Structure 1
Amino acid sequence: MLKDSFFYTYFRSLRVVDKQVSLVDNDLLKFVKLEELVLSANQIKEIDTTNLPPTLKVLELYGNKMTSMECLCTCPPPRLQHLGLGHNKLLGPLESLYVTSDYWPNLISLDLSFNDLTDLQGMVSGLRTLRRLRLLVLQGNPLALVPCYRGFIIDGLSGLCVLDDITVAPSEKHLFRGLSHSGDLLAHEARLVVTVGHVRGVLDSSVLDPEPGPQGPFITYRYYVTYEFVEDEEGEGDEYGRVLAEIVKPPPSTEQLGEVIPKEPIKEAEDSVGPGLASQSQSGELEESGASAPLPRPTDSAEELAKLRPRLDPRLWPSPGTVLFSTVRKPWSDVIPCNYEMQHVLKDLVRLKAFLLSGTTVTIVEEKILSWPAVPPSPNSPSAAKKGKGEKDKKGKEKDKEEKDKKGKDGKDKAGKGEKEPAKEQKGSKKKKELRKDLRQDPPVLRVLGSGPVDLEPLLSGEPFMSTVCNFGVVRTLETDRLTLYRDSKKNKSEKAKNAALEARKSKTKLPAASVYESDYRPDPLTVEIQIQLIQGHSTEEALRRLVP
């Protein structure tokens, strides 16, 4: 039978992981030869170091609830070589006072990753006293988001061999030489650049709309991408407010627009797609009216804006603590180039870290605007009277023409009379177009085509750049793509496209490309390209160059 004395003197390593431990008592001192103690993923808030064996060389407290290192400095193990405090809640500038050689004279490795440490200069000043320190992990802290982070530490800790699991190269020591002496001049703020690339696979909703009549409505579609980003309370709140207002503020109810010419009818294409198109159009309208609503009018206070929030699609409203940014509205095309780039400068690094952990949301939005004639023509208006008089004169001339035909006038006179009629018709159509010069717009109707989260945690884990393609699935259909193909073929000026469209109209059959669509139809999914870069300094010269306005 084993005795207790043998049991306590035998073990050199003790691991108690994820066991809801919250207290370390003096029974731990019975392990007289204990060198490694792992108490990760527990509920520990403080540790009485007088209860730790003095023989400890490794102490790991990852994933607990510690808010300060002060409790560890009461009577720290003198032989400790590795201290792991990652994924805790260490916060405040005073933490740099507890990482000095006064408490950890033999420390070789220190892991303080994924806490809320913000004082880079103070931390380097304390760590500089640890002469034996060779491995350091600080990634995941707000202080690691500033551009000069890596260079400042490498130059300040000359004996460091590995920083954030990346070996310190001799070239880095050369490039960042002297940077630690300019700490007071460096800006302690993070810079991130968001780029929105191409949008693909968007459904062309305009092919499902009926042709507008003389009195409208004339429908236009625009597409844009929105994303959430953290609001910096210390920095540019006013500028962000203007961006938000741009999204939730509707355009004026009346706006002067240029001349609008209705699209040509696509009757032949409708015949080729069959009855399935009508149900598709109806379902699209229902989806639009159910998923979105007209935007509210501009408000003078945040409280009034908050009251209107239920009227908006939740996906069109930013999460608490974030601001909604959007690209420029673009018309439909098979590939919509957003060409959007925005640099975000943030001083509140703790809020930025929390935002990167939670991620952002990217949304593709369709904006539909109905335009109407500003002043509908009245039957008693002068233009209408002139029109009636013109029709009366036209009928009189036609009657005279018939009488002249009966009297046996020659064909030349008939031809001369016939050439003037189309000119008058063109003149009349021109007058109709002039009536549509001034249009009023309804508030835009927004419809979310696709929305989804984007993981930003790699930027906290040391990755300076992340790129992804958000895939929201297929929203296009065979019928709508064939209508779009037919419309584009009519706009194409090449003789080949004209002949193909002419043959399709004569035969009243499906388009030549329809067989290709049906046999091998693979529409592109709705996607958008997103890139986010965390700006990092690559040399002392580059870091100091940013100081010059």
Structure 2
Amino acid sequence: MSANTLSAVVETQIHHLCLGDFPCGYGSWRKNKDSAEGGAETEETDALLDLLSCPHSPWWHDVSWSPQAPALRKLAVLSPECLHTNFIYSYFTTLRIMDKGVSIVDNGLLKFSKLEELVLNSNRISEIPAENLPSTLKILELRANWLSDLNSLTRHVPPRLKYLSLGSNSLSSHEDVSNLTGSHWPQLVCLDLSDCGFQDQKALLSALSTLPCLKTLVLEGNPFTLVPSYPGFTVDSLPQLSCLDTSWISPEERHRFRGLAKMSDLIVDLASATVTVGRMKGIPDPVMSGDENAPDFPVVTHSYFITYEFLSHQTPVNLKVGSESKFDEEHVTEDKSRDADPQSNKNCEREMSRPDTMETRHVIAHVSRHSTSKLAWSKCMDFSDTQTYIVSDLGSFKKFLNRGLYLRVEEEKVLSWPAASQDIAVTQPGRTVKEKKSGKGKESPIKSGSTREKSKDKKKKAIPELVQDAPIRRSLGSVHIPLQSLVKGDHKVNVLCDLGALYTESEVEATQTLEKVSSHKKGDEESKQRGGSGTGQKNTASSKGKGKGKKDHQVDVHTDSSVSVQLEPVTVELRVELEKWQSASEAHQLLLQH
């Protein structure tokens, strides 16, 4: 008998009960009922029972695999003469063999002639022959196994079976749907098909409607539950149902969805998800610690935008006028950081305009990258960016939601310079004005203040035409947003993404400057201590470098203030919402619109 067969695992569990060993069974440790006094090594019955039930006892065993196991051990103390082999097998009515590596359900299980509940979750069972199941079985749980079809199970279904759990198995085919009808399961009351791969909602519900006794149904986690018509279509298609996805169906809910099952034209296996990016706060001011003596050129501008990747099969419907969208026709991976090519958006639009688009988009899935519009810095940047994505490959959509969404905060910096033809006309007059005032021939850059002074002159200088360098982009941070709850039945994920505190480039440079200055000062103090410098030398050195020292001190104060500021974390508002019909009348309005 192989170790991975069900009967072998059960036999091992029974052997671990030690029904014939101390403190169970017969032995010198038992007090003889016929004798008035026991031997020196005998134990009272109550003491033997305590050894079985006390968690700190070395004879205590985990018996959670069957509620009959502890009762059987107790019986082995009180009446060990009853424990013959057939009695033990017939004593068990429940077996819970979970995560034990079972791969074969053999006919050894038939020895348990009164078995009513069999739980085999989280094993490696790929096939379960129904002829090896006791006819007395009422509950069968096969969740999280390797089942890929139900053919072997439906050949000889236990006639009394009322509860069947098949969740988290690779079941999705039309053949699996045909094996879930009333002709195979006439007594079934509860059915768990959660986290399987069913995508055809109408076909599955048509089969389940033939189960005459079905009252409780679990379907959450299947790809088709992501479509707008779920759960309304299910509620109206199965009028005998009392509980759906662990929630009781109220009369008010059934009334709201009445008539939806007849609107077959509306029931399309397409999911619609809306992603909204709201306000962003916490970005440090990029010019907060800028140098006042910096030249006018280049002119530096900063803008910020949000990027994320989402699954779609077509160009998403843009609900915000003026927002910027970019898409890749290639399959984008999680760690992909390049920006989408604008040409890709044109290619995507051409593909959607082709006559055979409706056929091809049901087959090919891709992850597209979207960028919000770029905003200039402010304490609170409101993107108000809303995108709706239509997805037809529901299986891929489920995987995408289980993986989650990756959101990035991007910064774009642009340097602008005067056009080459205007360099002389702009810079030369500025030097002449300063030469007249200071009497020096030193060239200095043009300041905005000097430009305003020149506006009073008779010969006004035109504002130079600026030429922009290529944009410099960098990612300020990224965050992962889990979306598994949408697969588990939630309709909306509303989250405030926290990317932590960020530093501007000037603050990073200021930190490096502070470290260099501190290191330089530390070196000077050490050299003075080694040289035994006197008070006079210190005063002399101070007087010689008075101006420079003062300037250095000012830089230190400025640097300390820029670094010591407590920065608030960068936060971004994000909402991901699945479209769900709230009533049959809402669905009817859509039918009229189309």
Q: Same fold (TM over 0.5)?
A: yes
Provide the C-alpha distance between the structure 2 equivalents of 1:31 and 1:230, rounded to a whole number of angstroms: 50
AA partner of residue 295 (structure 2): G
The residue correspondences of 1:59-458 to structure 2 (distance < 5 A) are 59-210=140-291, 213-214=295-296, 216-232=297-313, 235-236=314-315, 243-244=326-327, 321-377=366-422, 379=424, 383=425, 426-427=456-457, 430-431=460-461, 434-435=463-464, 437=465, 439-458=466-485
Could you list the per-position Cα deviations for residues 393-433 of structure 1 after superposition, in whole angstroms to 9, with x for gaps in the alignment?
A: x98xx9xxxxxxxxxxxxxxxxxxxxxxx9766348951x5
Whole-Å separation in 1 of the counterparts to 2:306 and 2:456: 43
Q: Distance in 2 between matches of 1:518 and 1:355?
A: 40
Task: For 2:326, give the aligned amino acid.
Answer: V
Structure 1 position 5 matched with structure 2 position 86: yes
Q: Give the counterpart letter for 2:147 in structure 1.
A: M
Distance in 1 separating the partners of 2:165 and 2:208? 15
Distance 1:219 1:102, change over 3 A: same
Q: Which residue of 1 aligns with 2:16?
A: none
User: 1:296/1:230 Cα in 2 relative to 1: closer, same or farther (>3 Å)?
Assistant: closer
How far apart in 2 are the matches of 1:238 and 1:156? 31
Q: Is the 8 A contact 1:92 1:118 kept in 2?
A: no
Q: How many residues align?
A: 426
Alpha-carbon displacement from aligned partner over 1:208-227 (angstroms, at most 9, x marks no partner): 4556635x221111111111
Select the residue among 102, 113, 124 that pairs with 1:21: 102
Contact 1:207-1:480 within 8 A present in 2 as well: no
On the 8 A contact 2:236/2:258 being kept in 1, the answer is: yes
| C-alpha contact (below 8 Å) 2:190/2:217 kept by paired residues | yes
CA shift in 2, pair 1:193/1:298, >3 Å? closer
For residue 572 of structure 2, the aligned residue among 507, 528, 533 is 528
Q: Which whole-Å deviations, capped at 9, do the CAs of 1:470-511 have from their partners, x for residues lacking one?
A: 11112258x969x9xxxxxxxxxxxxxxxxxxxxxxxx999x
Q: CA 1:34–1:15 in 2, change beyond 3 Å: closer, same or farther?
A: same
Residues 213-256 of structure 1: per-residue CA shift (max 9 Å, x gap):
35x22111111111111132xx44999x972269xxxxxxxxxx
Partner deviation per Cα, 1:13-70 (whole Å, 9 max, x = no partner): 1111111111111111111111111111111112111111111111111111212223
- Kept in 2: contact 1:175–1:540 (CA 8 A): yes
Task: Give the Å deviation of 1:94.
Answer: 3.1
SS at match of 1:122: helix
Given residue 94 of structure 1, which amino acid in structure 2 is its aligned partner? E
SS at match of 1:207: coil
Q: Aligned with 2:252: secondary structure?
A: helix
Give unmatched runs, 5+ long, in structure 2: 1-19, 21-82, 319-323, 330-335, 347-364, 440-451, 511-552
Task: Indicate if the aligned counterparts of 1:203 and 1:480 stay in contact, CA closer than 8 A.
Answer: no
Provide the rounded CA distance (Å) in 1 between the counterparts of 2:283 and 2:339.
Answer: 22
Q: Secondary structure at the match of 1:14?
A: strand
Secondary structure of the residue aligned to 2:199 is: coil
Residue equivalent to 1:487: none
Residue 497 of structure 1: aligned partner: none
The residue matched to 2:422 in structure 1 has which SS? coil
Q: Which residue of 2 aligns with 1:410?
A: none
Q: How far apart, CA to CA, are the structure 2 residues paired with 1:48 and 1:340?
A: 54
Could you say which residue in structure 2 is the equivalent of 1:543? 587
Per the TM alignment, residue 300 of structure 1 is displaced from its structure 2 partner at its CA by 8.4
Whether the 8 Å CA contact 2:492–2:576 is kept in 1: the answer is yes
State how far apart, in whole Å, the 1-side matches of 2:145 and 2:427 are: 86
Q: Tell me how far 1:110 sits from its aligned partner.
A: 0.4
Alpha-carbon contact 1:468-1:529 (below 8 Å) kept: yes
Asked if the contact 1:38/1:60 (under 8 Å) is kept, the reply is yes
Contact 1:93–1:118 (CA<8 Å) still a contact in 2?
Answer: no
CA distance in 2, matches of 1:64, 1:106: 24
Q: Give the match for residue 469 of structure 1.
A: 496
Whether the 8 Å CA contact 1:231–1:322 is kept in 2: the answer is: yes
Higher mean displacement: 65-74 or 195-204: 65-74
Checking the alignment, whether the CA contact within 8 Å between 2:328 and 2:345 is kept in structure 1 is: no
SS of equivalent residue, structure 1 residue 243: coil
- Go from structure 1 to structure 2 and tell me whether the alpha carbon gap of 1:536 and 1:294 turns closer, same or farther (over 3 Å shift): closer
Conserved 8 A contact 1:196-1:529: yes
Indicate the residue corresponding to 1:493 in structure 2.
none
Question: TM-score, normalized by length of structure 1?
Answer: 0.69
Distance 1:52 1:516, change over 3 A: same
Rate the CA distance shift 1:518–1:350 in 2: closer, same or farther, 3 A: closer
Give the AA of the match of 1:470: C
Q: Are 2:316 and 2:390, in contact at CA under 8 Å, matched by a contact in 1?
A: no
Provide the rounded CA distance (Å) in 2 between the counterparts of 1:444 and 1:355: 32
Distance in 1 (CA, whole Å) between partners of 2:163 and 2:261 is: 25
Deviations 1:269-327 (A, max 9, x none): xxxxxxxxxxxxxxxxxxxxxxx99979877899xxxxxxxxxxxxxxxxx94211121
Structure 1 residues 301 and 140: CA distance shift in structure 2, 3 A: closer
Query: Which residue is equivalent to 1:494?
Result: none
Q: CA RMSD in A?
A: 4.0
CA distance in 2, matches of 1:296, 1:324: 7
- Between structure 1 and structure 2, the one with the greater Rg is 2
For residues 30-45 of structure 1, the aligned pairs below 5 Å read 30-45=111-126
Q: 1:78 to 1:368 in 2, by over 3 A?
A: same
Equivalent position SS for 1:72: coil
Q: Aligned in 2, Cα 1:7/1:509: closer, same or farther, shift over 3 Å?
A: same
Output the CA distance in 1 between the equivalents of 2:374 and 2:187. 60
Offset at residue 164 of structure 1 (A): 0.6
Closer, same or farther: CA 198–242 of 1 in aligned 2, 3 Å: closer
Q: Which runs of 5+ in 1 are unaligned?
A: 247-291, 303-319, 399-421, 484-507
Amino acid at match of 1:144: T
Q: 1:391 to 1:153 in 2, by over 3 A?
A: closer
